[in-house]
Amino acid sequence: MDQFMNEAIAEAKKGQAHGGIPIGSVLVREGVVIGRGHNKRVQKNDPILHAEIDCLRNAGRIGSYKNTVLYSTLMPCYLCAGAVVQFGIKKVIAAESSNFAGASEFMTAHGVEVVDLDLDSCKQMMSKFIHDQQHLWLEDIGQ
């Protein structure tokens, strides 16, 4: 598996270890991680602090995002996909979309290359979380 997806998975596990939702993300430019984050909605009582948003925030102001790749353990939702499109990120690699389809069509329609790795380990991690913490999951996806 790609080293950058492994780093996103480590972020997801970190978030879950701190009582949050196990979704992690890293932003990569020219083979270097320049931002990383995990879902902190529960920990920070912040409804928009999804993994991808935390990752972008931690990357800081980098000027152009056009030569970056965003890795996420789950297909980004419309909030995060909107940030991808807004900042001109041209490629998103998601570990899975079985547990949540996300906004891949939205990103593709806006010129973003979307890759779904369909990783069993990430599908199982999210599936177990959804089963064990259904109320948090439904809150996270706005239901």
pLDDT attached to residue 1: 56
Q: Tens of pLDDT along 59-101?
A: 999 999 999 999 999 999 999 999 999 999 999 999 999 999 9
- Residue 106 — pLDDT band, cuts 50, 70, 90? very high
Least confident of 8-12, 57-61, 138-142: 138-142
Confidence category of residue 132, pLDDT binned at 50, 70, 90 = very high
Which long-range contacts does 99-106 make (Cβ < 8 Å, 24+ apart)?
99/74, 99/123, 99/126, 99/127, 99/130, 100/74, 100/75, 100/126, 100/141, 101/75, 102/74, 102/75, 102/76, 102/77, 102/78, 103/75, 103/76, 103/77, 103/78, 104/75, 106/78, 106/81, 106/82
Whether residue 108 is predicted with pLDDT greater than 90 in this model: the reply is yes
Q: What is the pLDDT of residues 19-30, one digit of tens each?
A: 999 999 999 999
**Averaged pLDDT for residues 5-18:** 97
Query: Is the pLDDT confidence value at 140 over 90?
Result: no
Q: Which of 52, 96, 105, 139 is catalytic?
A: 52
- Rounded CA-CA distance 119/57 in Å is 26
Tell me if residue 105 is catalytic.
no
Answer yes or no: is pLDDT of 38 > 60: yes
